[in-house]
Amino acid sequence: MLSEFLLSEMSRLGSQDALPLHRQLYEALRRAMLDGKLGAGERLPSSRDLAQDLRLSRNTVVAAINQLSVEGYLGSRVGSGTYVNDSVPRTTPGRAARGGGHPSATPQAGRLSTRGKALASTFCATELEVQPFTPGIADFSAFPLTLWQRLQNKHWRMTYPDMLDYNDSGGYAPLRRAVADYLRVFRSVHLEADQVVITSGTQQSIELCARLLADHGDTVWVEDPAYWGAVKAFMATGLSLHPVAVDEQGINPSTADNAKPPRLIYVTPSHQYPTGAVMSLPRRHQLLATARAHDAWVLEDDYDSEYRFSGPPISSLEGLDTDGRVFYMGTFSKVLYPGLKIGYLVVPKPLVAAFKQAHYDLNRPGQMPVQAALAEFIEMGHFASALRRARQNYGERRQCLLEALKPVLRDDTPEGPSISGAEQGLHLCLRLPQDVDDRALAQRIAQHGLTVRPLSAYCLQRTDLRGLVIGYGYAPLADIGRCGPVLAGTVSQALSG
C-alpha cells in the first residue's frame, strides 16, 4: 500500500538525515515514482487524503506535491487531480536503490579513472605529519606576521579595482622585477623581468610546463628517487614517466635511457630531492647536451637554493644554458610560509607570451594585493632579513642533528651508514646498507612520535637504495637535542640487531 511505503521511507529519512517533514514526503514520493510503485499516468491521492493517511498537516503535503510538480514529476489535469508524468525515469534493475544494493552497482564504485586511482594511491603527502624530522617542512613560526599584516592591510586599503581582477600580465610587475633582480644576483639566472611568471607555487609551475610543452603520452625523464609532487603533476597531465637513476653527481642517463627520448627532463640539480646530491659541472653540461640532442625541455626545480651551509653557492643550471631550453622555477614557501602559495617560473623569451596567455586562460591568476605586499616586503629588505635569520636558525638545527647522528656513522666499512645532502636545504639523507628494511625502521621510529621517510619510498624503479630522509626545518633546536639521540638510538639498535 502506498501510505505504508511512504511512512516507512519517511521514518528512515527522518532518522538518518533529520530532514523536515515536507522534504521527507517529497523524497518518499519521488522514490515511489522512480521505483515504479507509482506508475506513469497513475493518479495520486488527494492532498487531503494523503494528509489524513500519513497524519500530516495538509500544508506539509501540498508543499511536497508542489515541489514535485515544479520539477516535472507530477502534472495536474483540471477537475481530475494530480498524476505521475509519463516522462519520469525508472530505476533499472542493475542500479542500486538508495541505502541498498550491491556495492559494485552503486554510482560511486569505479568512478575514478585509472589515472585518478594512481594519483590517489601514489606518494600520499597526508602521511607526512608535521612532527620533528618530517622532511619537506619549513618552520614558519618566526615569520614576521605583524609586519606582513600591516603591508597587506596597506595594499588592501589602496587597491584599485583592476587589482581585484584576474591578471594576464604574468603577475604584479614590481614583484616580477624583484624576483628577477634576486635570481640574477644570487642564482646566476640570465633573465629579464618580463620572463618571470608568478604562479601559485612549484606544483602549478610544473603543471603549466607539462601542459604547454608536451602532449598526452609524451615521455618525461624524472630523477629516481624522485620528488613526489613532480611525479603527481606529470601523472595528472597524462605524461609517461621514465625514471633515470641518480648518483652522487646527480641524474645519470644511461644508453638504455637515451633509447627512450624525452620531451621533458625534470631535475633538482642544486640539491637533489631526496638524496641531496649536487649535480656536478660535467654532468650539467652533459644534461644540456642530452636535452639538445633529443630536442627536449629541461625543468629546473630550485626548491631550496636559499639555504647553503657549506661551500660556495651552487649556480643555477639555467645560467649554463645557451639554447633557451631551461625553465627555472622556485618558491617563497621555504623562506616565508607555505600557505602564501606564491612561486615563480622563468620562461625562455620566445615562449613568454604563450605562457602568460595559457596561465591566464587555465588558472585565472589573481591575488594581486598579496603580490603587491610581497613585492614591498622584498623591496624594503625584509625578505633578506628573514632569510638571514632562517639561515642561522636552520644552520644551528642542522649542526645539532649531525651531532646527534654521529653515533650511527661507522668508519669501519664503506657500506656502512653515511650522510648525504647536509650541505644545503632543510633535510638530509641518512644512507643505510641495502639489507636494512628502511620502511620498517621508519615505522619503528614513528612509535617514538618522530616522522622520517624511508628513502626507498621515493624510488620509482630502483630497488638498491635504503635510507632515511630526515628534515630539520620544522624541528626546534630543543626538540632536536631531545629527539636526536632517540632517533640515533633507534637506528643503531636496528643496525646491530
Find the CATH number of the domain harbouring 230. 3.40.640.10
For 218, phi and psi rounded to 5 degrees? Answer: -65, 155
More confident of the two residues 141 and 204: 204
pLDDT at 204 over 50: yes
Question: Which of 385, 417, 439 is the endpoint of a domain?
Answer: 385
Instruction: Give me 478's grid cell.
Output: 630543543
For the chain, what is the mean pLDDT? 87
For residues 405 and 474, membership in a common domain is answered with yes
Q: Are residues 362 and 442 in the same domain?
A: no
Distances (CA, A) of 311 to 273, 290, 335, 346, 401: 19, 28, 20, 26, 19
Do 54 and 167 reside in the same domain of the chain?
A: no
According to DSSP, the β-strands at 343-346 and 81-84 are: unpaired
Rounded CA-CA distance 377/144 in Å is: 10
Whether residues 193 and 305 fall in one domain:
yes
How far apart, in whole angstroms, are the C-alpha atoms of residue 338 and residue 138? Answer: 8
Residue 134 domain-assigned?
Answer: no
| Residue 81, pLDDT above cutoff 50 | yes
Mean pLDDT across 348-359: 95
Look at residue 17 and tell me if it is in a domain: yes
Helix locations, 364-437, DSSP H: 368-379, 382-405
List strand residue ranges (DSSP E) for 194-316, in order.
196-199, 219-224, 240-247, 250-251, 264-267, 297-301
Which of 102-116, 377-391, 397-411, 435-449 has the weakest average pLDDT?
Answer: 102-116
Residue 109's pLDDT band, with cuts at 50, 70 and 90, is very low
Exposure string over 22-51, b if 16+ CB within 10 A, otherwise e: bbbbbbbbbbbbbeebbeeeeebbebeebb
C-alpha cell at 487: 632517533
Same domain, 210 and 323: yes
Q: Which residues pair with 242 in a beta bridge?
A: 221
The residue segments making up the domain with residue 459 are: 390-496
Q: If residue 155 lies in a helix (H) or strand (E), which one and from where to where?
A: helix 145-157
Contacts for 54 with CB less than 8 Å, ≥ 6 apart: 3, 6, 7, 10, 25, 61
| Residue 21 confidence (pLDDT) above 70 | yes
pLDDT category, 132, cuts 50, 70, 90?
Answer: low
For residue 124, the model assigns a pLDDT of: 56
Specify the pLDDT at position 77: 73
Whether residues 430 and 466 fall in one domain: yes
User: Does 330 reside within a domain?
Assistant: yes
What pLDDT, in 10s, does the model give residues 293-340? 999 999 999 998 889 887 777 889 999 999 999 999 999 988 888 788
pLDDT per residue as tens digits for the range 236-248: 999 999 999 999 9
- How many structural domains comprise the chain? 3
**pLDDT of 177:** 96
Reply yes or no on whether the pLDDT at 99 is more than 60.
no
Lowest mean pLDDT among 38-42, 76-80, 235-239, 430-434: 76-80
Mention every residue, 6+ apart, whose C-beta is less than 8 A from residue 462.
224, 225, 243, 245
Where does the pLDDT of residue 17 fall: very low under 50, low under 70, confident under 90, or very high at 90 and above? low
- Model pTM score: 0.76
Q: Where residue 469 sits, what CATH number does that domain have? A: 3.90.1150.10
What pLDDT is recorded for position 143? 78
pLDDT band, very low/low/confident/very high, at 95 (cuts 50, 70, 90): very low
Residue 131, domain member (yes or no):
no
CA angle 435, 439, 440 (to 5 degrees): 85
Q: Read off the pLDDT band of 231 (50, 70, 90).
A: very high
Q: What is the pLDDT confidence band of residue 347, given thresholds at 50, 70 and 90?
A: very high
For the chain, the maximum distance between any two Cα atoms, rounded to a whole number of angstroms, is: 100
Residue 75 lies in a domain: yes
Least confident interval from 6-20, 184-198, 292-306 = 6-20
Instruction: Sort strands 250-251 and 240-247 into parallel, antiparallel or unpaired.
Output: antiparallel
Lowest mean pLDDT among 39-48, 100-109, 130-139, 354-363: 100-109
pLDDT at 484: 94
Q: What does each C-alpha distance from 456 to 307, 433, 468, 486 come to in angstroms?
A: 25, 12, 8, 22
Mean pLDDT of 259-278: 96
Strands 418-420 and 343-346: unpaired
- Rg of the chain over CA atoms, in angstroms? 30
Band (459; pLDDT cuts 50, 70, 90): very high
* Final residue in a domain of this structure, among 331, 350, 385: 385
> Which pLDDT does position 274 carry in this prediction?
95
Domain boundary among 385, 415, 431: 385
Confidence at residue 100, expressed as pLDDT on a 0 to 100 scale: 43
Q: Tell me: pLDDT of 126 over 50.
A: no
Residue of 263, 264, 221, 229 whose CA lies nearest to 246: 221
Percent of the chain at pLDDT exceeding 90: 52
pLDDT at 106 over 60: no
**Beta-carbon-side half-sphere exposure of residue 87 (alpha carbons within 13 Å):** 7
pLDDT at residue 97, rounded to an integer: 41
CATH at residue 40:
1.10.10.10
Residue 98 domain-assigned (yes or no): yes
Contact 263, 213 (CB under 8 A): yes
Q: Is 332 in the same domain as 408? A: no
Mean pLDDT within 124-140: 58
Nearest residue to 394 (alpha-carbon basis) of 474, 486, 302: 474
**Long-range contacts: 77-82, Cβ < 8 Å, 24+?**
80/43, 81/43, 81/44, 81/46, 82/43, 82/44
239 and 368 together in one domain: yes
Q: Given a cut of 70, is residue 488 above it in pLDDT?
A: yes
- Report how far apart, in Å, the C-alpha atoms of 223 and of each of 183, 364, 368, 411 are: 24, 31, 35, 29
**Percent of the chain predicted with pLDDT > 70:** 89
Verify that 279 and 374 share a domain, yes or no. Answer: yes
- The three cell numbers of residue 361 are 586562460
Residue that the C-alpha cell 589515472 belongs to: 115
Task: Report the SS3 class of residue 125.
Answer: helix
Q: Are residues 486 and 152 in contact, defined by beta-carbon separation less than 8 angstroms?
A: no
One domain for residues 294 and 337: yes
User: Which carries the bigger pLDDT value, residue 163 or residue 353?
Assistant: 353
Residue 199 within any structural domain of the chain? yes
The answer on 428 and 331 residing in a single domain is no
* 370 and 273 inside one domain: yes
Q: Assess whether pLDDT exceeds 60 at residue 104.
A: no
Band the pLDDT of 79: cuts 50, 70, 90.
confident
Helix (H) or strand (E) holding 428: strand 427-431
Give how far Cα 69 sits from Cα of 48, 63, 79, 132, 442, Å.
Answer: 17, 10, 17, 60, 61
Residue 337: other Cβ atoms inside 10 A: 17
What pLDDT was estimated at residue 4? 84
Give DSSP secondary structure letters for 461-490: S--S--EEEEE-SSS-HHHHHHHHHHHHHH
The answer to whether position 128 is within a domain reads no
Residue 131, pLDDT score: 54
For 430: left if phi > 0, alpha if psi spans -120 to 50, otherwise beta; the answer is beta
